[in-house]
Structure 1
């Protein structure tokens, strides 16, 4: 009886279950958002995993550089890059408008396929560190933080090809203070105060390659843009003031959709360059600046996308500038399954007459000498989520 009483006193008390708090879907800002538990903030997490295989000599901001083996270069190997990109979006309605944030952080493992110079054919692969590509806050139309220049984001990039900067159309990374305005009838506008990026680089002859991209005073770079969008397409213009070199550049773009599965664009750029070509600057820019990276005063880009079927598209771009630099890029993109795309691209570039008319550079910005050409290609595997 004593044993039985002891056991009865030690009876286990089962705690009441805590109420479960399930994640709620937020469909206000599009698919993939959910409410952060206990808040009114909607969050979306996404990104991609990418693997690039490049061959040949053609390069871009994010690809292989041109050091033609036939001309003594040493990059007779693959360009390889594996990347993990992590993105976040948030949105919340407030009395002052929608409060948004966007971030993107990239991690890369790669070799550069660059001319190794004195190192001969050594071109080691390795981690290149994390890069903060976007980190901005936007309330209503006001945006502050790390972004890409409105000189490119507002008017659009240069087509759906991988190597879209064979003739470059503007530099990218910058801190910004921007204001966007949307009239709701097809008209929109932006004004952007920008810091730029890059500290000035020189070549072996002492000539500037890009000059100083980051502002060197309290005067910011300034970008303004106007856009008119309708069912047929859009027409957009942007104008930029480089406060370091006190020069102005502009671009105008026309987008049209002549048929349901075909979209086309043409974009022209023009920039002044008196100070960009002045060799008395501490960092002479060699004619190229943050907002006018093409050679000469003018440049043009054109191309489009043709949707072959629901899984396959053909993309092409042709670019040319006053310095007679010609770039051609074309690819086929195939969606193997939703979220997984394989793209095969071929690229060609011909260096023009840089340096002929008293210029300071004697090679294309990708490294090709005057009158030379290069061809290469890229195979890209990308899983987006």
Structure 2
């Protein structure tokens, strides 16, 4: 066979093989279009659309580590290591009644590496000024330092509340299930009902809050007022609480007054000195009122931003009670936000 004939024969053979393979070739399916996550900027930073919906979702949280110290802080030890991990899921969407919000906060705490306490910290639905579910009450809104004691017992409840928010004034009322049993007043039990109401204002460099709470089981209540004013290089905070007798919202003393000054030294460092006085810290035997004894607390809170999303807080407090021992207590905290 000549060279030319051999080349033609080889080409014919290759063509035949290619034709046979082409007949058996698998045709790849067209890829389905991918729906990428879209940023939702209608409700602030961090929200994104849940794919396939018009609902916006944000996930945030923090890890907090504290070294606590004080007399019998973790009895019989005078110090304790404590850690909290928390994550919050917040969903929002527009409706004909306004923004529909759903919020879930999951929290887990561990002390001394053995005491684990997983909880649903918050879980509520919010629409048109109404909020239903496990939520923090207005009694949880305290001054920014660590010196003050302006609430008693747990400050989150299964509640139904309504709040009107205006440009200057805000007002609201809530019905709270006071679900935790406490033994301060004889006969007090769980599953009690509390009623709380608050009015507040913000105008210029001033903010004010007036809050009341009534415990239907003990038939006692408390009133609290807080005022903030921009003064000099920082903000002055003044507060006071009065209680008619032992009640879930406040039962530390018959009345108390206190003050703090939040001084922002620079973008990283903030100093918050404060002091508080308590009058009649002892309860009557029947819990109907308060008897003698007074106390006062003074201290300082130091906040320092180490880097973006990592900060530390130092709390040093001195407590002196007329009929008790003096105490020094506080903590050193590190917190990573995300």
Q: Give the structure-2-normalised TM-score.
A: 0.85
Give the equivalent residue in structure 2 for 1:375: 328
**1:128 maps to 2:116:** yes
Give the equivalent residue in structure 2 for 1:98: 99
- Cα 1:164–1:37, aligned 2, differ >3 Å: closer, same or farther? farther
Structure 2 counterpart of 1:258, from 221, 225, 231: 231
C-alpha displacement at 1:4, in angstroms?
4.5
8 Å CA contact 1:108, 1:128 repeated in 2: yes
8 Å CA contact 1:211, 1:289 repeated in 2: no
In structure 2, distance between residues paired with 1:212 and 1:36: 46
- Gaps of at least 5 residues in structure 1 are 59-63, 68-73, 112-124, 202-207, 274-287, 353-369
C-alpha displacement at 1:227, in angstroms?
0.9
In structure 2, distance between residues paired with 1:46 and 1:95: 28
- Cα 1:144–1:19, aligned 2, differ >3 Å: closer, same or farther? same
**1:20 maps to 2:34:** yes
- Gaps of at least 5 residues in structure 2 are 1-12, 282-293
Give the equivalent residue in structure 2 for 1:268: 240
- Cα 1:98–1:253, aligned 2, differ >3 Å: closer, same or farther? same
Q: Which has the larger radius of gyration?
A: 2
Matches within 5 A, 1:1-385: 4-57=18-71, 64=73, 74-76=76-78, 78-111=79-112, 125-150=113-138, 152-153=139-140, 156-161=141-146, 164-165=148-149, 168=151, 171-184=154-167, 186-201=168-183, 208=184, 212=188, 214-216=190-192, 220-259=193-232, 261-273=233-245, 288-295=246-253, 297-322=254-279, 323=281, 324-352=294-322, 370-385=323-338
Is the partner of 2:178 in helix, strand or coil? coil
Residues 277-335 of structure 1, C-alpha deviation per residue, up to 9 Å, x if partnerless? xxxxxxxxxxx32112212x211232131111011111233222112122223122111
- Cα 1:301–1:338, aligned 2, differ >3 Å: closer, same or farther? same
C-alpha displacement at 1:245, in angstroms?
0.6
8 Å CA contact 1:210, 1:290 repeated in 2: no
Is the partner of 1:9 in helix, strand or coil? helix
In structure 2, distance between residues paired with 1:75 and 1:189: 45
* Larger RCO (CA under 8 A, 6+ residues apart): 1
C-alpha displacement at 1:173, in angstroms?
2.3
- Cα 1:210–1:335, aligned 2, differ >3 Å: closer, same or farther? farther
Is the partner of 2:22 in helix, strand or coil? helix
C-alpha displacement at 1:21, in angstroms?
1.1
In structure 1, distance between residues paired with 2:204 and 2:268: 24
C-alpha displacement at 1:107, in angstroms?
0.9
Give the equivalent residue in structure 2 for 1:280: none
C-alpha displacement at 1:40, in angstroms?
1.3
In structure 1, distance between residues paired with 2:267 and 2:159: 38
8 Å CA contact 1:349, 1:375 repeated in 2: yes
Residues 94-122 of structure 1, C-alpha deviation per residue, up to 9 Å, x if partnerless? 101111122211111213xxxxxxxxxxx
In structure 2, distance between residues paired with 1:266 and 1:190: 22
Deviation larger for 125-134 or 337-346: 125-134
Structure with greater strand share of residues: 2
- Cα 1:222–1:56, aligned 2, differ >3 Å: closer, same or farther? closer
Is the partner of 1:341 in helix, strand or coil? strand
C-alpha displacement at 1:92, in angstroms?
1.1
Alignment coverage as a number of residue pairs: 311
Q: Give the structure-1-normalised TM-score.
A: 0.75
In structure 2, distance between residues paired with 1:56 and 1:308: 28
- Cα 1:52–1:211, aligned 2, differ >3 Å: closer, same or farther? farther
Which consecutive aligned stretches of 4+ in structure 1 deviate over 6 angstroms post-superposition? none
**How much is the aligned-residue C-alpha RMSD, in angstroms?**
2.2
- Cα 1:27–1:229, aligned 2, differ >3 Å: closer, same or farther? same
C-alpha displacement at 1:342, in angstroms?
1.3
Give the equivalent residue in structure 2 for 1:360: none
In structure 1, distance between residues paired with 2:170 and 2:199: 6
